[in-house]
Amino acid sequence: LSKKLASTCFVRFDENRCVGCGSCLRVCPTKAIRVKNKKAIRIVEQCIGCGECIRTCREGAVSATTKGPGVLKQDQVAIALVSPVLYAQFPGVMPKDVLLGLRHMGFQHTIDMSYFLEIFQCAAEEFINRNRKSQKAPWPLISPVCPVVVRLIAFQFPSLLPHVLPVLRPVALMAREIKSHLVPDYVDAHRKVVLYYINPCPTKKEPSCLPRPKKTVPTEIALGINDIYPELLKYVEQIRAADRIPFYQTRFEYETCATGNASMWAMSGGEIADMDIDQSLAVSGIEETINYLGKIEMGLFQDIEYIEFRTCREGCLGGVLVAIDKYLAKSTVQKMIKRFGLGRRLQRENILRLYEKGQFQTEKIPAKLTRLFGASKKALSLEALQKIESIAKRIKGTDCSACGAPDCRTFAEDVVRGDAALKDCLLIGAPAGKKRRSKL
Partner 1 sequence: MPKFKKSFHIKARDFIRAGEASINVQNLLKTMNLDSRLIRRIAICGYESEMNVVMHGGDGSLSIEVGADRLVLEVTDDGPGIEDIELAMQTGYSTANDDHREMGFGAGMGLPNMKKNSDQIYIESTKDQGTHVRMFFFIPDGVKTD
The contact set with partner 1 (CB under 8 A) reads 156, 158-159, 161, 294-295, 297-300, 374, 377-386, 389, 413
Using the minimum distance from each CB to partner 1, give the nearer residue, 60 or 162: 162
Specify burial of residue 324 (Cβ count, 10 A radius: 0-12, 13-18, 19+). middle
- Residue 397 C-beta: closest distance to partner 1, Å: 14
- Residue 298 C-beta: closest distance to partner 1, Å: 4
426/300 Cα distance (integer angstroms): 41
Using the minimum distance from each CB to partner 1, give the nearer residue, 189 or 379: 379
Using the minimum distance from each CB to partner 1, give the nearer residue, 163 or 179: 163
The DSSP code sequence of 161-180 is GGGB--B--HHHHHHHHHHH
Using the minimum distance from each CB to partner 1, give the nearer residue, 378 or 437: 378
Using the minimum distance from each CB to partner 1, give the nearer residue, 382 or 440: 382
Burial 63-99 (b: 16+ CB within 10 A, else e): bbbbbebebbeeebbbbbbbbbbbbbbbeebbbbbbb
Sequence-distant (≥ 6) Cβ neighbours of residue 341 within 8 angstroms:
260
Using the minimum distance from each CB to partner 1, give the nearer residue, 241 or 298: 298
Using the minimum distance from each CB to partner 1, give the nearer residue, 75 or 383: 383
Using the minimum distance from each CB to partner 1, give the nearer residue, 105 or 412: 412
Burial 197-231 (b: 16+ CB within 10 A, else e): bbbbbbbbbeeeeeeeeeeeebebbbbbbbbbbeb
- Residue 403 C-beta: closest distance to partner 1, Å: 19
- Residue 157 C-beta: closest distance to partner 1, Å: 8
- Residue 100 C-beta: closest distance to partner 1, Å: 49
- Residue 282 C-beta: closest distance to partner 1, Å: 19
Q: How distant, in Å, are the alpha carbons of 92, 183, 388 from that of 45? A: 42, 33, 22
Query: Nearest-CA neighbor of 55 among 202, 237, 206, 172?
Result: 202
Determine which helix (DSSP H) or strand (DSSP E) holds 199, and give its type and residue range: strand 192-199
Using the minimum distance from each CB to partner 1, give the nearer residue, 241 or 382: 382
Using the minimum distance from each CB to partner 1, give the nearer residue, 161 or 273: 161
- Residue 314 C-beta: closest distance to partner 1, Å: 24
The angle that helices 114-134 and 348-356 make with each other, rounded to 10 degrees, is: 60
Determine which helix (DSSP H) or strand (DSSP E) holds 20, and give its type and residue range: none
The DSSP code sequence of 262-323 is HHGGGSTTHHHHTSS-SSEEEEESHHHHHHHHHHHHTT--TT--EEEEESSTTSGGG-TT-S
Question: What are the beta bridge partners of residue 361?
Answer: 167
Query: Using an 8 Å Cβ cutoff, are 226 and 89 in contact?
Result: no
114/274 Cα distance (integer angstroms): 13
Rounded to a whole number of angstroms, the CA Rg of the chain reads 24
- Residue 368 C-beta: closest distance to partner 1, Å: 16
- Residue 159 C-beta: closest distance to partner 1, Å: 4
- Residue 179 C-beta: closest distance to partner 1, Å: 34
Backbone angles phi, psi at 216, to 5 degrees: -90, 140
